[in-house]
Amino acid sequence: STNTVKKIACIGAGYVGGPSMAVIALQCPNIEVVVLDINEERIKAWNSDKLPIYEPGLEEVVFAARGRNLFFSTDTTKHLGEADVIFVSVNTPTKMSGIGAGRAADLTYWEGAARMIAAVSKSSKIVVEKSTVPVKTAEAIAKVLTRNCVDPNVKFEILSNPEFLAEGTAISDLTKPDRVLIGGQETPTGRAALEKLKWVYAHWVPDNRILMTNLWSAELAKLTANAMLAQRISSVNAISALCEATGADVSQVSYAIGMDSRIGPKFLQASVGFGGSCFQKDILNLCYVCESVGLKEVSDYWYTVVAMNDYQKQRFVERVISGMFNTVAGKRIAIFGFAFKKDTGDTRETPAIDVCRGLLADGAKCAVYDPQVAPIQMFRDLSAPKYAWDRPHGWTKSENHIMESVQAVSDPYSCAAGSHAICVLTEWDEFKGLDYAKMYDSMVKPAFVFDGRNILDHDALRKIGFVVYALGKPL
């Protein structure tokens, strides 16, 4: 058929590029899929037995397809030159300096990728935006591509195909997606490109789950989906504060409202705050786009979702400190979980960073246990300068102070031993099955539990003797 795609290349071998291309390769054995990165270490890891990211089910998929039709490489010139479809899944972080710092998306990596494509293309290409980008990015990318390509016969068709996977469930999200969204230009060549990419997904995704829209709708739908998801969490977290003040129980409130089919039960779990590389950055990006087109009220509206999240993290720190007689100075506090959610080792924007910083700023000593996060990563996160702009962080201590006041511990029992309190910051399943009576015996009394995820059995803990604080629950 005219739709046949023979070779796919992907720029960016990260959390999105790696798993999404591995699933395409597994499902489409006749397409050669090459994942490229400028980071040699990362490519080396993708080619080894120890993959660079932890994701349930990822190894099985990669090991089945790697070497057959899935390859990881740094040879961008060769593979971009040969590919007929090029996915771009480079990082698009928040801009750290200059105009729009702290809000706008930094498209440096994206532009670099586009220039690379233009420089090596000797045949026409479909370029697919997989990264999350501000609406209208395709227009800018098209200019970079066409004005830098030396061969006038080479044509570029740009599609937007945002990724909706969540970390920790990436493989099942990719294998059974709620929908695959593809946006393209409403021209004959645009429609032909849409059909080609649709053909790739149709290998395993049912027809009625492949959605085709115009370019700008696809770009904006991605930002909107993340903003709406984060909004649910900030809404329920706001209510958790009210629950604590009134004696309502946030789990009961969530359950009751979730039974309304118009609201639905998912994503209503109160927490110490949402983290991850995307929610905050994408909302800030959305706010910036709104401001750029003169929609200040719309921008202000969405910004409150981020502000509420900062409040929730701060509120948790204050609750720990006030609960422990207004001082944590010199006290050892066991931090259970550092990743931004369970089943991932990713710590980008994890609420644990802000909570630990808040406790450290008050003089606490933090002992941190996480089953997937390497100690070096914890120290890196805690000592990195937070923001170059004006959002509150309350952090002025030196890197030395971090090294002295933070201890990474390799098992939960030695983490708790000698501590005054346990703070649960990630909802790892293994935290539910631990022997808390044993821990209690090894802790300083009164021993506290601050459950920032509401995953533990609070009544059982109180029976053991713990003083328990749980989010949005009566004390």
Shortest Cβ distance from residue 310 to ligand UGA (Å)?
A: 14
147 marked ligand binding residue: no
Shortest Cβ distance from residue 405 to ligand UGA (Å)?
A: 24
- Residue 362's nearest CA partner among 386, 394, 403 is 394
- Residue 383's nearest CA partner among 395, 367, 368, 370 is 395
397 marked ligand binding residue: no
Query: Helices (DSSP H) in 122-163: which residue ranges?
Result: 137-148
Partner interacting with residue 267 (select from ligand NAD, ligand UGA, none; CB below 5-8 Å by kind): ligand UGA
243 is catalytic: no
Among 164, 204, 311, 440, binds ligand UGA (CB under 6 A): 164
Q: Taking the C-alpha atoms of 388, 391, 394 and 398 in order, what is their torsion angle to the nearest 10 degrees?
A: -10
Residue 267 lies near ligand UGA (rule: CB under 6 A): yes
34 marked ligand binding residue: no
Residue 92 lies near ligand UGA (rule: CB under 6 A): no
Residue with smaller CB distance to ligand NAD, 276 or 412: 276
63 marked ligand binding residue: no
272 marked ligand binding residue: no
Q: Which two tokens stand for residue 440?
A: 């209690």
Distances (CA, A) of 404 to 324, 410, 446: 22, 17, 25
E strands present in 23-69: 32-36
How do beta strands 156-160 and 448-451 pair?
unpaired
Residue with smaller CB distance to ligand UGA, 104 or 417: 104
14 marked ligand binding residue: yes
DSSP string, 384-428: S---SSSS-------HHHHHHHEEE-SSHHHHHTT-SEEEE-S--
Partner interacting with residue 229 (select from ligand UGA, ligand NAD, none; CB below 5-8 Å by kind): ligand UGA
Residue with smaller CB distance to ligand NAD, 267 or 440: 267
User: By three-state DSSP, how is residue 94 classified?
Assistant: strand
Residue 8 lies near ligand UGA (rule: CB under 6 A): no
Strand partners, 472: none
Per CB under 6 A, residues contacting ligand NAD are: 11-17, 36-39, 42, 89-92, 109, 112-113, 116, 131-132, 163, 165, 167, 277-278
From residue 118 to residue 137, the character string flagging contacts with ligand UGA as x (rule: CB under 6 A) and all else as - is --------------x-----
Whole-angstrom distance, CA of residue 96 vs CA of residue 89: 20
Residue with smaller CB distance to ligand UGA, 135 or 229: 229
Residues contacting 25, CB < 8 A, separation 6+: 31, 33, 65, 68, 69, 70
Alpha carbon 119 to its chain centroid, in Å, reads: 31
361 marked ligand binding residue: no
180 marked ligand binding residue: no
Whether the bond between 446 and the residue before it is cis, its omega within 30 degrees of 0, is: yes
Residue 23 lies near ligand UGA (rule: CB under 6 A): no
Shortest Cβ distance from residue 275 to ligand UGA (Å)?
A: 4
- Cα angle for residues 141, 146, 149 (degrees, 5° grid): 120
Among 22, 114, 221, 278, binds ligand UGA (CB under 6 A): 278
Among 340, 428, 450, 469, binds ligand UGA (CB under 6 A): 340
Whole-angstrom distance, CA of residue 138 vs CA of residue 450: 46
Partner interacting with residue 11 (select from ligand NAD, ligand UGA, none; CB below 5-8 Å by kind): ligand NAD
Please list every residue from 210 through 229 that binds ligand UGA, using CB under 6 A: 226, 229
The single residue listed with the structure tokens 């995704």 is 205
* Dihedrals phi, psi of 464, to nearest 5 degrees: -65, -30
Partner interacting with residue 89 (select from ligand UGA, ligand NAD, none; CB below 5-8 Å by kind): ligand NAD
Residue 105 lies near ligand UGA (rule: CB under 6 A): no
Residue with smaller CB distance to ligand UGA, 18 or 145: 18
Whole-angstrom distance, CA of residue 132 vs CA of residue 120: 24
Residues contacting 207, CB < 8 A, separation 6+: none
Whole-angstrom distance, CA of residue 250 vs CA of residue 314: 19
92 marked ligand binding residue: yes
Options 278, 290, 415, 423, the catalytic residue: 278
Residue with smaller CB distance to ligand UGA, 232 or 332: 232
Partner interacting with residue 205 (select from ligand NAD, ligand UGA, none; CB below 5-8 Å by kind): none
Active site residues: 278
For the annotated binding site, the residues are 12-17, 37, 42, 90-94, 131-132, 167, 278-281, 348
For the annotated binding site for NAD(+), the residues are 12-17, 37, 42, 90-94, 131-132, 167, 278-281, 348
Binding site for ligand UGA (CB under 6 A): 132, 163-167, 226, 229, 233, 267-269, 271, 274-276, 278-279, 340-341
